[in-house]
Chain A
Amino acid sequence: MKLTIQINEGPYQHQSADTAYFFAKAALEKGHEIFRIFFYHDGVNNGTRLTTPPQDDRNIVNRWSELAQAHSIDMVLCVAAAQRRGLVDDGEAQRNGKDATNIAPGFRISGLGQLIEGGVQSDRLIVFGD
């Protein structure tokens, strides 16, 4: 099946990002396709390159980047939510006059249409949040 996953909360604050990750991994192991992982609300904070979690704890951001790379998953941070919360890629930095970027590998910033498209094109939409 083709799955789209929506993640509404940031890393560490809520368990959603963890549950979504293990769900995604299990889905891939069973041979399903992940059409898109769409990060909304504080979920966009899963895409920052700048976290330094404790050494003895899981690195949520890196885990996403590795999963995306291993399986060519499209991971999208909603542009409106990202702008509000300060997640910036090169395009956004140029457009909005920011002097830095902070997006982690494997993530891209794009519009809400990507979430809607996920709903249209996938067999299932699963939302993780608070």
Chain B
Amino acid sequence: MSETKKFMYVNRKAPYGTIYAWESLEVVLIGAAFEQDVSLAFLDDGVFQLTKGQNTAGIGMKNFSPTYAALGDYEVNKIYVDRESLEERGLTLDDLQHLVWEDEDEDYAEKDSIRLVTRAEMADVLAEQDVLFNF
């Protein structure tokens, strides 16, 4: 039986202009079944993936942003967002979806999944990982 590894999915690309954001999420969802210690990182244009109010009707693409809200149900609840990337892009936490998970160890109390980190903190988080997926 292999030991549990720390898996990090690094997201640095905006949604819809390319498929990477969506196909990376598909890996996260499948990967959730493998019971590893999973985190997601959103850095550079990757932070745009998490914005609220995405309406894709006009471009004829599937709006996959609701999938981020479902991550908590897959026990994916460590979502690191780079503060500097947000600020560079004129965004604040308020512009992003409010992602939550339910902690069954605390009576299913709802907790925030997004952890806003500085660049230095993001570097520390990445350094702790065992396996880094990039798309």
Q: Give Cα distance in the complex from A127 to B135, angstroms.
A: 8
Contact across chains for B134 and A116 when beta carbons are under 8 A apart: no
Closest to B4 in A: A120
Query: Which residues of chain B from 106 to 135 have a CB within 8 Å of any chain A CB?
Result: 131-135
Contact across chains for B5 and A112 when beta carbons are under 8 A apart: no
Contact across chains for A41 and B23 when beta carbons are under 8 A apart: yes
Contact across chains for A41 and B30 when beta carbons are under 8 A apart: no
Say which residue of A8, A80, A113 sits within 8 Å of B34 (CB atoms): A113
- A-B CB pair tally, cutoff 8 Å: 48
Count of B residues near A, CB < 8 Å? 18
User: How would you classify the secondary structure of chain A's contact residues: helix, strand, loop or mixed?
Assistant: helix
Closest to A80 in B: B26
Query: Which chain B positions have C-beta within 8 A of A8?
Result: 20, 135
Contact across chains for B30 and A113 when beta carbons are under 8 A apart: yes
Chain A to chain B contacts (Cβ below 8 Å), 20 pairs: A8-B135, A40-B23, A40-B27, A41-B19, A41-B20, A41-B23, A41-B135, A81-B23, A112-B31, A113-B30, A115-B27, A116-B27, A119-B5, A120-B5, A120-B36, A125-B133, A127-B132, A127-B133, A127-B134, A129-B135
Residues of B within 8 A of A (CB): 2, 5, 7, 19-20, 23, 26-27, 30-31, 33-34, 36, 131-135
